[in-house]
Structure 1
Amino acid sequence: MFKSFAGEKNLLKISVFVALFFAIFGVVWGSLVSSQIIFFDGLYSLVSVMLSLLSLLVAQFIKKNDRMRFPYGKEMLEPVVIIIKYGVIFLLCIITLITAIVSLLSGGQDTRVGPALIFAFVNTIGCVAVFILLNKNKDKSGFIKAEANQWKMDSLISGAVLFGFISAVLISYTPYEYLVPYVDPVMVLIVIGYFLKTPIVEMTKAFREVLEMSPDQSIEAKFKKVITPIEKKYQISESILRIAKVGNKLFIDIDFILGPQSKMVTIADQDKIREQIIQHTRDLVYKKWLTVSFTNDKKWAQKDLA
């Protein structure tokens, strides 16, 4: 666990420092060359820095053992932070989108295309490198996955900017040179329009975790596949499976309802069943909170008693 956290912590630090560099680079360079898209790229990186710092602090807090105050762990903070992160990104996208529309309607943006092209090239290479690093380790935690998504967005933004400014340079040598001022705000509209989907999707997933809704069907199917042979072996009439994913932890609640035909299930048998369930779901890379109960009366499995 310590090594896993150390890896997570180091990756988040890399994300913070590189994002800080590109934030300063983008905001300053965007102002100098009068480019909305570069300024947005830098501002996005600056927001990423603050949000990455928040992720790092919360990740450290979650790892601290405090069973007395948080008997079920602190993983709920992970989806809450992810909602905050993508909520801020969504707001930033909306504000930038409105600014681009205003600029487009007022005649475009007079941008110094040559220096802007240099920034776009350097930024694209750097963002892609960080994204590849984080994406290789995204299964370590929800925080790293969120960071990888942020850098994926930034990489695609930078790539779109690079393509846009190359197009602007080519257009400037044609009779359509008058269109060059419109390239910058049009790129903003295209990039923002495409990326609005990501924060909406990720916030929806995080809200599902906060509400402790069922995870992906594949996870539930995996546990049902393990439970079915156990039911047959002990002639268990019915079982009720409940799963909730919160951050990097799965809460699994299984109630086996025994009938008159069921075989005797000793305490030793129950522990073997628990071990079997854990062993056969090791490929699910989550921490697991497993509760397995046995009862003759289904009412004790309903969990909504007054």
Structure 2
Amino acid sequence: MTEQGVLRASIVVTFLVATFGIVFGLLSGSFSIAFDGVYSLADAGMTTVALGVSHLIVQSAKRDALSGKLRNRFTMGFWHLEPIVLGLNGTILIIVAIYALINALLSIQGGGRELEFGFAIAYAATTLLICLVMAAIDWRANRAIQSDFLKLDIHSWVMSGAISGALLVAFAIGYGVEDTMLEWISPYIDPVALAVISAAIIPIPIGTVRQAVADMLLLTPPDLKEQVDGVAKETVARHGFLGYRAYVAKVGRAKQIEIYFIVARDGPARRLEEWDRIRDEIGEAIGDESHNRWLTIAFTTDREWAE
């Protein structure tokens, strides 16, 4: 199963769950269920965008897969779109959760709302099962694919499942206290559940947003820089170069690496094929030779070219 195939299936199911949530939210009078549907709808919209970006990234690695105009406009590839989409997705989910939290607090202050717990329990149980199944499918597929988009999609399904599970518990409590001395808490079940869930899920996308911002700012991953430095130092020692400069960044799923080796002005002349063999050695030592690695290796006698 491909990344795009998994995302397509996730989009279809998410739209169905969102519609299911909004309809049941109206039928049961539950703002928390309606929020769950709107949350799923926002997630489905961003997953659709993620699918488009994933398609562009994969197609850009194939010769003649893109139109000439598009290829000429994006000669450096489409990797930079991935952290933008991930950051935007996480930000939207945070905003939606904050909005829901504010509405829940206002509802609590207003005395809560009446709720049809039978519809609510049916919705929460069904949605919880769907979320668990989709999270398992995504997780199994991503063991081989290793996609940040699928990781985010897994998180989204887990978050949606947590919301449904919490709602199921809350609605079961509300159903249980009907016609008892604790029935006065029934109107508060829905807004309190929504407030707790919203407050709990707000921090979850923060890690994704932070990583996306780091990628957009081209921050250097320490582990990747250490690996590249190790290979470059070994190359300098083996071939008698004067030094090197390495520039490393991670942009979405792509690793961008530039290494400039300082060569002595009076060093022995080498054929171009020999310089290419040295490049091949360095590339093999760095590893991960795929279309997601952008590796530039240059040799110069002028240190200013390497700065």
Check whether TM > 0.5.
Answer: yes
Q: Please tell me whether the aligned partners of residues 223 and 277 of structure 1 are also in contact (alpha carbons under 8 angstroms).
A: no
Residue by residue, what CA displacement relative to the aligned partner does 1:225-266 show, whole Å, maximum 9, x if unpaired? 333322321233432221122222211011122358988765
Aligned counterpart in structure 2 of residue 206 of structure 1, from 208, 212, 219: 212
Aligned counterpart in structure 2 of residue 119 of structure 1, from 123, 142, 149: 123
Aligned counterpart in structure 2 of residue 86 of structure 1, from 90, 101, 117: 90
Residue by residue, what CA displacement relative to the aligned partner does 1:178-205 show, whole Å, maximum 9, x if unpaired? 2232222122122111211133332222
Aligned counterpart in structure 2 of residue 100 of structure 1, from 99, 104, 109: 104
Q: Distance in 2 between matches of 1:163 and 1:284?
A: 49
Residue by residue, what CA displacement relative to the aligned partner does 1:256-282 show, whole Å, maximum 9, x if unpaired? 223589887654443233323333343
Q: CA deviation at 1:26?
A: 0.5
Matching residue of 1:13:
8
Matching residue of 1:226:
231
Q: Please tell me whether the aligned partners of residues 23 and 44 of structure 1 are also in contact (alpha carbons under 8 angstroms).
A: yes
1:249 aligns with 2:265: no
Q: Please tell me whether the aligned partners of residues 121 and 171 of structure 2 are also in contact (alpha carbons under 8 angstroms).
A: yes
1:193 aligns with 2:188: no
Matching residue of 1:60:
55
For residues 184 and 68 of structure 1, do their structure 2 counterparts lie closer, same or farther at Cα, with a shift above 3 Å needed? same
For residues 285 and 148 of structure 1, do their structure 2 counterparts lie closer, same or farther at Cα, with a shift above 3 Å needed? farther
Q: Please tell me whether the aligned partners of residues 234 and 263 of structure 1 are also in contact (alpha carbons under 8 angstroms).
A: no
Q: Please tell me whether the aligned partners of residues 123 and 158 of structure 1 are also in contact (alpha carbons under 8 angstroms).
A: yes
SS at match of 1:245: strand
Q: Distance in 2 between matches of 1:262 and 1:100?
A: 73
For residues 33 and 229 of structure 1, do their structure 2 counterparts lie closer, same or farther at Cα, with a shift above 3 Å needed? same
Q: CA deviation at 1:32?
A: 0.8
Matching residue of 1:273:
278
Q: TM-score, normalised by structure 2?
A: 0.86
Aligned counterpart in structure 1 of residue 148 of structure 2, from 120, 142, 146: 142
Matching residue of 1:3:
none
Q: CA deviation at 1:289?
A: 0.8
Q: CA deviation at 1:37?
A: 1.5
Q: CA deviation at 1:10?
A: 1.0
Aligned counterpart in structure 2 of residue 258 of structure 1, from 257, 260, 263: 263
For residues 145 and 295 of structure 1, do their structure 2 counterparts lie closer, same or farther at Cα, with a shift above 3 Å needed? same
* Aligned ranges 1:37-52 → 2 under 5 Å: 37-52=32-47
Q: Distance in 1 between matches of 2:267 and 2:137?
A: 52
Query: What runs of 5+ residues in structure 1 fail to find an aligned partner?
Result: 1-5
Q: CA deviation at 1:15?
A: 0.7
Q: Please tell me whether the aligned partners of residues 103 and 185 of structure 1 are also in contact (alpha carbons under 8 angstroms).
A: yes
Matching residue of 1:301:
306
Q: Distance in 2 between matches of 1:174 and 1:296?
A: 86
1:161 aligns with 2:167: yes
Q: CA deviation at 1:104?
A: 0.9
Q: CA deviation at 1:40?
A: 0.8
SS at match of 1:11: helix
Q: CA deviation at 1:54?
A: 2.0
Q: Distance in 1 between matches of 2:140 and 2:174?
A: 34
Q: CA RMSD in A?
A: 2.6
Q: CA deviation at 1:74?
A: 1.7
Q: Distance in 2 between matches of 1:262 and 1:166?
A: 80
Q: CA deviation at 1:58?
A: 3.0
Q: Please tell me whether the aligned partners of residues 112 and 188 of structure 2 are also in contact (alpha carbons under 8 angstroms).
A: yes
Q: TM-score, normalised by structure 1?
A: 0.86
SS at match of 2:105: helix
For residues 36 and 233 of structure 1, do their structure 2 counterparts lie closer, same or farther at Cα, with a shift above 3 Å needed? same
1:151 aligns with 2:157: yes
Residue by residue, what CA displacement relative to the aligned partner does 1:11-50 show, whole Å, maximum 9, x if unpaired? 1110111001101110001111111211111111111222
Query: Aligned pair count?
Result: 296
Q: Please tell me whether the aligned partners of residues 128 and 165 of structure 2 are also in contact (alpha carbons under 8 angstroms).
A: yes
Q: Distance in 2 between matches of 1:203 and 1:284?
A: 28
For residues 172 and 249 of structure 1, do their structure 2 counterparts lie closer, same or farther at Cα, with a shift above 3 Å needed? same
For residues 230 and 90 of structure 1, do their structure 2 counterparts lie closer, same or farther at Cα, with a shift above 3 Å needed? same
